[in-house]
């Protein structure tokens, strides 16, 4: 019997996101061994990536230009990495704070990035509806400020690369106690290996200032759009920590400081 139907075509959703000459990940991503993404290791030790952004790198300077162009033309979809060479993409380990000015953008695509952190200013993208950092395998957590994107309903994240993900339940980096912040803490120049971030830009909860001895860091796992994401909270007080919502179902219920905390069993058990 002859099948006269037209052959079915499947759309490659990410076919135009790799950028020029970026076949595979080797040229545009550094290796990451933070998490074993193939089997559970709930008692392994994990930490934050310590890289700081080289703001003199050509890729960074070009990214700043691309953000300004997107702000100026009011585009609704922003795919900055396709405009960079593989070498330039590899130079980008975070995004500039100016992304908070992309208030017209509805879809942010960061497919296959070399990012290790997202700045809290992403919360200023008030019209963001879809977020695609898929195959960004060095991106293990997100800022709590992402919850300010009230219209965000769709996401595509490589969840096995996330701290505390439900497949493998890897641990979370241990956060420093508030009493260890000390009066010598410089909010504008933090050690990302210890704090996860290089600077503080206000309380994640109330947006108020954070004094040198007032930093309360917590982890919380919440459903943001399609996925449950590990979110880093930088709070100005214990009252703001108490104001945080309950964690997602089947995750740690209350905000915590990471390290050796009990998590629900993975669905692989």
**Residue-wise pLDDT tens digits, 62-90:** 999 999 999 999 999 999 999 999 999 99
Q: What are phi and psi of 92, to 5 degrees?
A: -95, 110
DSSP assignment letter at 180: G
What's the whole-number mean pLDDT along residues 104-118? Answer: 98
Pairing of strands 107-109, 154-155: unpaired
Burial category of 188 from C-beta neighbours within 10 Å (exposed 0-12, middle 13-18, buried 19 and up): exposed
pLDDT in tens, 221-260: 999 999 999 999 999 999 999 999 999 999 999 999 999 8
Report how far apart, in Å, the C-alpha atoms of 9 and of each of 2, 13, 15 are: 19, 12, 14
Instruction: Using DSSP, state whether 227 is helix, strand or coil.
Output: strand
Report d(CA 160, CA 164) in Å as an integer: 9
Determine contact, residues 250/267, Cβ cutoff 8 Å. Answer: no
Q: Where are the domains of the chain?
A: 58-242
Structure tokens at 106: 């509805």
Q: How far apart are the first and last CA of the chain?
A: 46
Residue 242, H or E segment: helix 238-242
- Predicted confidence at residue 36, as pLDDT, reads 82
More confident residue, 56 or 45: 56
pLDDT in tens, 84-98: 999 999 999 999 999
DSSP assignment letter at 14: T
What's the whole-number mean pLDDT along residues 111-120? Answer: 98
What's the whole-number mean pLDDT along residues 121-131? Answer: 98
Confidence of residue 3 (pLDDT cuts 50, 70, 90): low
pLDDT in tens, 128-162: 999 999 999 999 999 999 999 999 999 999 999 99
Per-residue burial over 6-16, b if 16 or more Cβ lie within 10 Å, else e, is: eeeeeeeeeee
Structure tokens at 105: 């953008």
What's the whole-number mean pLDDT along residues 101-129? Answer: 98
- Predicted confidence at residue 30, as pLDDT, reads 94
Above 70 in pLDDT, residue 26?
Answer: no
| Cβ neighbours around 68 below 10 Å, total | 13
More confident residue, 170 or 211: 170
Determine contact, residues 225/151, Cβ cutoff 8 Å. Answer: no
DSSP assignment letter at 259: B
Pairing of strands 227-235, 216-224: antiparallel
- Predicted confidence at residue 184, as pLDDT, reads 66
What is the share, in percent, of the chain residues with pLDDT greater than 70? 86
Confidence of residue 37 (pLDDT cuts 50, 70, 90): confident
Average pLDDT, the chain: 89
- Predicted confidence at residue 265, as pLDDT, reads 82
3-state secondary structure 114-157: CCCCCCHHHHHCCCCCEEECCCCCCCCCEEHHHHHCCCCCEECC
Structure tokens at 147: 């919850």
Instruction: Using DSSP, state whether 247 is helix, strand or coil.
Output: coil
Determine contact, residues 231/142, Cβ cutoff 8 Å. Answer: yes
DSSP assignment letter at 39: S
- Predicted confidence at residue 134, as pLDDT, reads 98
């Amino acid at each position: 019997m002859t099948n006269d139907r037209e052959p079915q075509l499947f759309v490659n959703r990410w076919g135009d996101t790799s950028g020029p000459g970026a076949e595979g990940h080797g040229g545009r991503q550094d290796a990451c061994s933070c998490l074993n993404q193939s089997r559970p290791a709930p008692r392994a030790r994990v930490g934050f990536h310590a890289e700081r952004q080289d703001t003199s790198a050509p890729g960074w300077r070009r990214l700043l230009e691309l953000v300004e162009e997107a702000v100026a033309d009011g585009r609704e979809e922003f795919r900055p990495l396709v405009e960079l060479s593989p070498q330039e993409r590899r130079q980008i380990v975070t995004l500039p704070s100016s992304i908070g000015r992309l208030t017209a953008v509805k879809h942010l695509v960061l497919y296959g990035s070399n990012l290790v952190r997202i700045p809290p200013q992403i919360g200023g993208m008030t019209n963001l509806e879809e977020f695609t950092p898929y195959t960004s395998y060095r991106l293990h957590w997100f800022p709590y400020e992402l919850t300010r994107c009230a219209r965000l309903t769709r996401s595509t994240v490589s969840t096995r690369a996330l701290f505390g993900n439900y497949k493998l339940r890897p641990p979370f980096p241990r956060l420093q106690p508030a009493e260890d912040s000390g009066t010598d803490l410089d909010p504008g120049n933090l050690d990302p290996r210890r704090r996860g971030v290089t600077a503080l830009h206000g309380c994640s909860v109330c947006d108020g200032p954070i004094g040198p001895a007032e930093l309360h860091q917590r982890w919380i796992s919440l459903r943001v759009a399609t996925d449950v994401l590990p979110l880093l909270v930088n709070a100005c007080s214990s009252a703001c920590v108490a104001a945080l919502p309950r964690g997602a179902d089947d995750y740690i219920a209350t905000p915590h400081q990471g390290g050796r905390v009990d998590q629900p069993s993975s669905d692989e058990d």
